[in-house]
């Protein structure tokens, strides 16, 4: 049973263990700095499907299947999956799960959905009602552009603060700590567990530009990180890395400034951002970095968790960041509310 | 949060790079001017081919629209537009691209509710307000300037 620390952080005494993980991406993501670490790279944007929406379904299924394969676990043994995406009514997730036969709890927290999913999965396992629970999430550049911006072939310029929605998906399979590990996982140097989770509050400092998502989400990230540090009595240097979801270059800079003036802490030595890790922002045409649910999900599963498994890092705070706007709200003059959920991963004792 | 919306606005402005206006203006001038010069070349070509002036006036924009539709369909136009901005957007090429691109995008939802319903998703406002202004000008012309 989870134990509350301070006002927001939950400690999971049983420490659910990561049994499997999968991260897949598109061509541009494959060409990025983490390309070789992705489990699969789809070279065609449509992935052989008739629509962008179907392509995203394929993408999410691929991540889920990779996570199951890496754990040597058949889909029937997964008792629940928390999943979400950016498409209307979370359709990519629902359609992906149509063939898998895993019970589904659909979630929406924009690009913080994967962090929310992992937190929910860890809490479910920790609560004792479930043995194996998954979290999965995806985003696809083309389906997101179609829904939120312009048709793909429409000639529009990118504003200097814009980010690129990643074509990527990630999936994690968690297991209760008491269960035996399959031989493949037992062979890994270290097993990684979820130690603490924290659900974010909705923050809005009045950013209304839908092309400036990093700036809209930075306050939520700062709020969640500062609450976590206060609740747990930790310093940023007690962590090996604070991975934010997809703030990009501008949002990351704003997060560091906000953390300094709101909480007097310097996050610079440990802060990394998924939006800047997935792409080479200087060489690839991605604006100020990546965004989208799949961005941080893929970075977490392909780069950060392996570092923990290899023992290079001991503790990582993953903070998924989401901009909670709809297609309609900016047109009605609303500013962009944002949210950030935190998950503390650590090497199992 | 202690930071107020006004303070944060200043922070965001300080951290956001400004739009490179001069570069945009130069690119759009060069490409937009190039498209217009190309149109002029088409006019000379069609005149040389012995079309009447009235036919030439129709043939030039139709050719530009056709070329835009083709370059949009093969995925070249949006790359040029990314560089040219208003240079490709303001001439009739921008309008053609704004009609062809949603047609391609929404083909997966069928020809009636996909292509048909979304064809003027981007160009619709231009048609609505363009027609409204033309009507107003027509009335002014009819009553006062004729």
Residue A187 pLDDT:
67
Q: Are residues A123 and A241 in the same domain?
A: no
A155 contacts B78? CB cut-off 8 A: yes
Give the burial class of A208: count Cβ atoms within 10 A of its Cβ; 0-12 exposed, 13-18 middle, 19 or more buried.
middle
The dihedral over CA atoms of B4, B5, B6, B11, expressed in degrees to the nearest 10, equals 90
pLDDT tens-place string over residues A133-158:
999 999 999 999 999 999 999 998 88
Cβ-based neighbour number of residue A343 at 10 Å: 28
Residue at token pair 């990519």: A92
State yes or no: pLDDT of A243 exceeds 70. Answer: yes
Q: Point out which residues pair with A17 in neighbouring strands.
A: A175, A193
State yes or no: pLDDT of A349 exceeds 90. Answer: no
Residue A166: CATH number of its domain: 3.40.47.40
State yes or no: pLDDT of A188 exceeds 80. Answer: no
Domain edge (last residue) among A141, A175, A209: A175
Shortest Cα–Cα distance, A190 to chain B (Å): 39
What residue in A sits closest to B20 (Cα-Cα)? A160
Range of the domain at A210: 191-347
State yes or no: pLDDT of A98 exceeds 80. Answer: yes
The set of residues, in sequence order, having a beta carbon less than 8 Å from that of B65 and lying 6+ positions away, is B92, B93, B95, B96
In angstroms, the CA A116 to CA A200 distance is 9
Nearest alpha carbon to residue A118 among A346, A347, A343, A348: A343
State yes or no: pLDDT of B47 exceeds 90. Answer: yes
pLDDT tens-place string over residues B70-110:
999 999 999 999 989 899 988 899 999 999 999 999 999 99
State yes or no: pLDDT of A261 exceeds 80. Answer: yes
Q: Are residues A141 and A200 in the same domain?
A: no
Model confidence pTM above 0.90: yes
Is residue A211 within 8 A of residue A161, CB to CB? The reply is yes
All residues of chain A having their beta carbon less than 8 Å from the beta carbon of residue B16 are 160-161, 212, 215, 250
ipTM summary value = 0.92
Q: Are residues A209 and A319 in the same domain?
A: yes
All residues of chain A having their beta carbon less than 8 Å from the beta carbon of residue B74 are none
Range of the domain at B126: 23-145
Per-residue confidence band for A229, with pLDDT thresholds at 50, 70 and 90: very high
Is residue A155 within 8 A of residue B97, CB to CB? The reply is yes
In a domain, B17, yes or no: no
A44 touches chain B (CB under 8 A): no
In a domain, A47, yes or no: yes
In angstroms, the CA B51 to CA A64 distance is 63
In angstroms, the CA A247 to CA A111 distance is 10
In angstroms, the CA A253 to CA A190 distance is 33
Share of chain B above pLDDT 70, in %: 100
In angstroms, the CA A80 to CA A36 distance is 30
Residue A271 pLDDT:
98
Q: Chain B residues with CB-CB distance to A under 8 A?
A: 1-3, 5, 8-9, 11-12, 15-20, 24, 72-73, 75, 77-78, 80-82, 84-85, 88-89, 94, 97-98, 100-102, 104-106, 108, 122
Is residue A99 within 8 A of residue A61, CB to CB? The reply is yes
């Amino acid at each position: 049973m989870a134990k509350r620390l301070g006002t927001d952080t939950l400690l999971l005494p049983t420490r659910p263990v990561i049994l499997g993980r999968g991260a897949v991406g598109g061509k541009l993501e494959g060409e990025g700095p983490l390309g070789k670490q992705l489990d699969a790279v789809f070279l065609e944007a449509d992935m052989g499907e008739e629509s962008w929406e179907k392509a995203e379904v394929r993408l999410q299924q691929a991540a889920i299947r990779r996570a199951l394969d890496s754990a040597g676990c058949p889909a029937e043994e997964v008792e629940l999956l928390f999943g979400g995406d950016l498409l209307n009514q979370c359709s990519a997730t629902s359609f992906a799960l149509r063939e898998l036969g895993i019970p589904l709890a659909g979630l929406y927290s924009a690009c913080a959905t994967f962090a929310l999913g992992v937190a929910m999965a860890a809490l479910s396992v920790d609560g004792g009602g479930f043995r194996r629970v998954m979290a999965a999430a995806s985003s696809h550049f083309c389906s997101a552009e179609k829904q939120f911006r312009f048709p793909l072939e429409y000639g529009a310029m990118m504003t200097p603060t814009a980010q690129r929605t990643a074509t990527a998906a990630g999936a994690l399979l968690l297991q209760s700590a008491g269960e035996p590990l399959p031989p493949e996982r037992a062979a890994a140097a270290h097993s990684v567990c979820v130690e603490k989770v924290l659900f974010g509050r909705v923050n809005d400092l009045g950013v209304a530009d839908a092309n400036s998502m990093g700036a809209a989400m930075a306050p939520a990230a700062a709020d969640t990180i500062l609450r976590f540090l206060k609740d747990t009595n930790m310093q940023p240097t007690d962590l090996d890395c604070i991975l934010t979801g997809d703030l990009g270059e501008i949002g990351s800079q704003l997060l560091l400034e906000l953390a300094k003036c709101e909480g007097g802490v310097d996050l610079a030595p440990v802060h990394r951002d998924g939006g800047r890790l997935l792409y080479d922002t200087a060489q690839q045409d991605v604006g100020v970095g990546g965004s989208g649910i799949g961005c941080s999900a893929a970075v977490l599963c392909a780069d950060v968790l392996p570092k923990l498994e290899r023992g290079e890092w001991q503790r990582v705070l993953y903070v998924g960041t989401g901009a909670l706007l709809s297609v309609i709200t900016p047109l009605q003059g609303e500013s962009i509310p944002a949210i950030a959920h935190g998950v503390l991963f650590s090497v199992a004792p | 949060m202690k930071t107020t919306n006004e303070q944060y606005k200043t922070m965001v402005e300080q951290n956001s790079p400004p739009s490179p206006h001069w570069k945009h203006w130069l690119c759009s001038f060069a490409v937009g001017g190039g498209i217009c010069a190309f149109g002029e070349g088409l006019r000379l070509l069609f005149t040389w081919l012995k079309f009447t002036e009235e036919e030439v006036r129709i043939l030039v924009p139709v050719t530009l629209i056709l070329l835009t539709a083709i370059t949009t369909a093969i995925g070249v136009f949006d790359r040029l537009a990314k560089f040219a901005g208003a240079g490709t957007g303001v001439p009739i090429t921008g309008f053609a691209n704004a009609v062809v691109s949603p047609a391609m995008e929404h083909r997966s939802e069928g020809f009636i509710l996909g292509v048909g319903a979304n064809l003027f998703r981007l160009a619709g406002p231009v048609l609505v307000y363009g027609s409204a202004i033309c009507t107003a000008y027509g009335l002014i012309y009819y009553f006062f300037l004729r």
